[in-house]
Structure 1
Amino acid sequence: MTGRTWKRLIGVTAAATAVTAALMTPAATASPAAAPAAAPAVATTTAAAAADVDYDTWQKDCRAVMDEALPYLKQRIADAAAGEKQAIVFDIDNTTLETDFGFSYPSPANAPVLEVAEYAQDHGVALFFVTARPDIIASATDYNLKHAGYKVSGLYVRNFGDLFRDKAEYKTAKRVEIEAKGYTIIANIGNTPTDLSGGHAEKTYKLPDYDGQLS
C-alpha cells in the first residue's frame, strides 16, 4: 500500500469517526435520516496528487475509456433479455471517486465514470461497488458514493479476514456473490489489474493507473 493510500485512508477514517460521533448525538438520534447531511462540515483534506500525473491528463484518459464503454452499455442495456437483472461492478478509488488529486471528504465523483453510471442507473441497471477499503469506513464510503450521485445497490468492503486475502481473489469472489443474487454483470470497471482479473463480467474497462501511480 502506497503512502498516498495510507494518507487517504487516515483521512477517510477520521471523517468516518466524525460522522459516527455526529450520529450518536441526541439530535442525530431524533432524526437519523438527516444526519449524513452534516458530513461535509467535518471534511478533512490532505495532499495526495500523483507525483507524475496531472489532473487534466487523467480526466482526458478516463473519458477516452468511458467513451468506449458507453456505446456498448447502451446497446447491451437495450438488448436485455426479458426479466434479466443487469449490473455493473465498479472499483471506488480513482474509478468512481477522485481520491488521489487533492483528497477531500466527501470526495468528488470521477465525472466521466459518473456519466456512464447515471445512464446505467437511469435505465434500471444495478450499481455494485467492490473496494479494498476496510469495513471501518463502510458507512462513510456509502455516504460519499450517494452524495456524489451514485445509486448504490450494494457496497462490498474488506473485513478483517479479507485484509490478508489476495485483492484479486477477494474482488472476484464478490462478483461471484453478485451473480449468485441473480444479476448479470454486463461490465466491470476499475483502474488496476486486481479490479478486473478473474472473470465474472461480460466486459471489463480499465481506467489509467499509470503503472501503479494511482491506487
Structure 2
Amino acid sequence: LYQRFNLNDFGYIDTGTHVSHFSYTLALALGFKNIIMIGQDLAFDEEGNSHSKGFVLGERIDHTLNLPTLQVPAYASKGEVLTHITWNDYRIKLEYLFACNEQKAKFYNATEGGARINFTEELSFKECCEKLLTKEKPKFEFPKSLTKNRSDKLLVKFKEKIQKDQDNAKRFLDDALALKQILENILSKDFILPLEFLEKVYQNIENFNHSLDEDEFI
C-alpha cells in the first residue's frame, strides 16, 4: 500500500492486532538482533486476575468481556494456564511473527509467567541483561524530520492518488451497476432477445472481468 502512494522512503511496518506485535516489528525494522519481551502473560494469573494490581480499568476487567476461555501450555512448561480466545489469538500471531524472523533476531521471553510463547527463549529479565548487556552500544541516531515544503509536496501527491483511486472506484461501481441492471432486464424478458444484443452484453461482461484482473487499481 505504501508503494502505491509513493511513500517508499517511509517503508511499512506490520502493526498486527495488538501493540506488542507492532513493538516487536518495529524492533526488527530498526535492526535489533536480540529482542526481550516482558509482561506478555497472555493468560489469567493464579487468582484469576487479567491485569496487574492498580490497573486503571481494574484487575479483573477481562472477566466482563465474557470471552470463551481455554487451557494452554504455561511459561517454562509448568503445566497449563487459563487464557481466552483473544489472548490466544495474540499469542499465535506473535509466534508466527517470531517464526518468520528467527533468522533475523533472537526473541527472549522474560515474563516469567503466563502462557508459553513458542519460538522464544525463556529467561528472566536479570538473566537477559547479564547475557546481552555486556558492552555499551552507540546511541541511535534519529532520522531528520521532513521540511515543511517536502511534507506539503508529499501530501499533495497522496491526495492526488486518493482522488484518482476514488474516481476509479466510482467508475468500476458504475460499470458493475450498469451490467447488473442489463442482466436483470434480460432475465425479466419473456421473449427471445436478438443474438447481436446478447453478444454485445457478453462482450461487455468479458471486458469488465478483464479490467478486474488487469487494472492497477484493483
**Which structure dedicates a bigger proportion of its chain to strand?**
1
Tell me which of the two structures has the higher relative contact order, counting C-alpha pairs closer than 8 angstroms and 6 or more residues apart: 1
**Higher Rg:** 2
TM-score, normalization: structure 1?
0.29
TM-score, normalization: structure 2?
0.29
